[in-house]
Amino acid sequence: MSLIKCLIIGSGPAGLTAAIYASRAGLNPVVYEGMQPGGQLTQTTEVENFPGYPEGVTGVQMMEDLHKQAARFGAEINWGIATKVDFSKRPFKVTIDGEKEIEAETVIIATGASAKYLGLADEQKYAGNGVSACATCDGFFYRKKTVAVVGGGDTACEEALYLASLCKKVYLIVRRNVLRASQVMQDRVLNAENIEVLFEHQTLGLTGDGVVEGADLVKGKGTDHEEKVHIAIDGFFLAIGHKPNSDVFKPFIATDEAGYIITDNRQRTNVEGVYAAGDVADPIYRQAITSAGTGARAAIEAERFLLS
Active site residues: 134, 137-138
DSSP string across the chain: -PEEEEEEE--SHHHHHHHHHHHHTT---EEE--SSTTGGGGG-SEE-SSTT-TT-EEHHHHHHHHHHHHHHTT-EEE---EEEEE-SSSSEEEEETTTEEEEEEEEEE---EEE-----HHHHHTBTTTEES-HHHHGGGGTTSEEEEE--SHHHHHHHHHHHTTSSEEEEEESSSS--S-HHHHHHHHH-TTEEEEETEEEEEEE-SSS--EEEEEESTTSTT-EEEEEE-SEEEE-S-EEES-GGGTTTS-B-TTSPBP--TTSB-SSTTEEE-GGGG-SS---HHHHHHHHHHHHHHHHHHHH-
Cα distances (Å, whole numbers) of residue 115 to 107, 160, 194:
25, 16, 25
Bridge partners of residue 231, in order along the sequence? 215
| Angle subtended by helix axes 13-24 and 59-72, to nearest 10 | 20
Among the listed residues 298, 272, 267, the one whose alpha carbon sits nearest the alpha carbon of residue 21? 298
